[in-house]
Amino acid sequence: YKSRVHDSETLVLTGRSYGVTNVVVLGPAGDVVLDDDVTVTSREDRSVRIYRQAARSTFSCSPRCEPKVTVGDEDDNFSRALAQFKSHEGMITTGQ
């Protein structure tokens, strides 16, 4: 998970991979304001898989189809989608 404080009322969480983690938010005095679990799951109901012989590519379609980083996809497609994801993540981190 990657997090960024946007302003005094907004915390942005970006799930980097599937799984469960906890989020702890502290108030100005160091008191726990929130201590809760966050689960990142796949939205399989909005996914499309394209097979070209044995090579698979996965797309997330909500509302338009975009590459989705999915373990088991064909190497070139996986690497290209992962590079795009990392580029997008970099823009979020730098606030662009």
Task: Please give the backbone phi and psi of residue 82, each rounded to the nearest 5 degrees, phi first.
Answer: -65, -40
How confident is the model over 43-93, as pLDDT tens digits? 667 788 889 888 888 888 878 888 887 778 888 877 888 888 788 777 776
Q: Where are the domains of the chain?
A: 2-40, 47-94
Place 31 in a pLDDT band, splitting at 50, 70 and 90.
very high
Confidence of residue 3 (pLDDT cuts 50, 70, 90): low
pLDDT at 24 over 80: yes
Percent of residues in the chain assigned helix, strand, coil, to nearest 5: 25, 45, 30
